[in-house]
Amino acid sequence: MNLEGIYVHDGMLIAAHEDCGTQTLVLDVDLPADEWSEDLVPKRITLREVYGYCTNDGPFEGTPAILEIDKIEEKGRWTKYHLGTNAGTRVFWTSGFSIEDRKN
């Protein structure tokens, strides 16, 4: 599965934790239970071997809503993604990810 295969529209980006030592980026998100549901489910997306992580957020009050996640490019085992929110954008390269339930 690729990140763009996960339904994220109208989910919430709760937090982003970058660990430079392990080259991971952990996104705590609340995602729709499915594309027809208004119920949000707490999830944790852990991105492995992340590099080129850039944020371009403007002044914003509150928790950003996730609008989309798109694959931009692939090079070997690396994939570049664009994560769009109503507060701005995040772009990163990663070699893979895992997604799991998150406790509130």
CA angle, residues 17, 32, 72, in degrees to nearest 5: 60
Residues in the chain, pLDDT under 50: none
Give the start-to-end residue ranges of the domains of the chain. Answer: 3-101
Q: pTM of the full predicted structure?
A: 0.91
Q: What is the pLDDT of residue 1?
A: 59
Q: What is the pLDDT of residue 5?
A: 84
